[in-house]
Amino acid sequence: MRKSKIIVQLTESTVLPEDAIMLGESIMKARKIPRSGPVILKFGAYRQHVKIIPSPKTNGMRMSGTLAARMGIHAGHPSRVGLRLQYDADTGTLALGPLIGVLVSRDYPDAPEKPFGSITMFCRELVEACKAQGAYVFFFTPDLIGDNAEGTEGWVYSGKWQRVWLPAPDVINNRLTSRRLENKPNVQQFIAETKHAYGTSIFNEKFLDKTEVFDALQKNNDLRRYLPESHQLRNIAILKAMCSRYSSVFLKPVRGSLGKGIIRISRLGADGYQAMHATSAGYRRQTYPTIAKLYASLASKMKMSRYQIQQGLHLIEIGKRPVDFRALAQKNAAGKWMVTSIVARTAGEQHFVSNLARGGTLSPVGVAVAKANISKNSQDAALRLRQAALHIAQGVDDSIPAHFGELGIDLALDANGKVWLLEVNSKPSKNDNTPLNEGKIRPSVRMMIQYSRHLTGF
């Protein structure tokens, strides 16, 4: 049952022994916590038997700073922290939480003001959102994970960033940005052991491959209408067939992101084929007289990376720059998918991909559609994009055996107003989907905490 947060105040060990906590009588009465006998105090994977000292004057909980540090609770000044509380009469367990661990790729211990580089402000935002909702968050990297699944070193913020030991969390949000890090044996072992031993929930637990997503969604009759024709590029026959059906096709690395490695191939009639390679500066253009010459030029790339070949779409444009849309779908406090934000992304000059990392710019959906060369069905474009994102998020959830809590869904409109799926990203960049008029704490950050509370019952 969800309860409002309580204030946990830390005291000197001379005031309270390490095996006791003081708890307000009104809280004990409301939660039906017995006055006699010890209880098991729980915080993430941490467990300890403690005695409860009822207090008529206390409206929260008090514990010694020594006990709190052992649990992994580090408060700033004043020495207090707001947390949610649950009591399970069947097991005699008094749980504080939820304890949320965010698994990030790297830290910079020599930069204490900015220990996570460019995502430090996002991490601070999560800290503030947790304070508001009565949760506790820490951040850890693959290099900080040790041999013991009971806990890990991690970073907390209480007036300043500090690295401390913490118990394994109730929830892990996997924000690793590379498959190499995600597949490290210590990461996979920690995730498996915390799931098994402590019931930890891990969401966004794996990367998605483009082929995997399109093959899974292709089996759903309701979702097939959003899918451009798409295949894994296995041989020249597939390339030849796609180039004969469509005036342009896109080759995308199956495991690529941020627009890296995308190639647009266009037919030039009797003059053969043109390949445009996305680069950080724009694109590099090459022409080939035959499909065989074109395929031969791709052979070395295909040895290094698998490619998905996708039907070229005539996307809406603003000033001859293609426009697509990034929707952020997240699970809410009830565990249901919803679209937290959706923005239009217009490609930069001399670019044919819209990612911000490639010079793209953001605008509200309505503004972009009004400026674009769309011929019809523009009035309800935002609604149809939102509905498509929800259907696709649910389709991924139903079809792919992994736990996802948020998905970045890239959509497009063609000149006739039809909605198309471009790709689905299980590690959406917080830069790409930032709302244009954001407040201090973004809705997407608040939603992550709400879903974590849903998973844990807090």
CA angle 163, 165, 166 (to 5 degrees): 115
pLDDT, mean of residues 82-86: 95
| Residues 206/396, Cβ–Cβ less than 8 Å | no
Q: Which residue has the higher pLDDT, 286 or 301?
A: 286
How far is C-alpha 432 from the chain's CA centre?
12
This prediction's pTM: 0.90
Average pLDDT for 276-303: 83
Three-state secondary structure call for residue 232: strand
Cβ–Cβ < 8 Å for 341, 274? no
Say whether the peptide bond before residue 78 is cis (omega within 30 degrees of 0).
yes
25-65 pLDDT, tens digit per residue, is: 999 999 999 988 799 999 999 999 999 999 998 889 999 99
In this prediction, residue 257 carries a pLDDT of: 63
Using one digit for the tens of pLDDT, what is the confidence trace for 119-135?
Answer: 999 999 999 999 999 99
Burial class (CB in 10 A: 0-12, 13-18, 19+), 37: exposed
Pairwise CA distance, residues 384 & 419, whole Å: 7
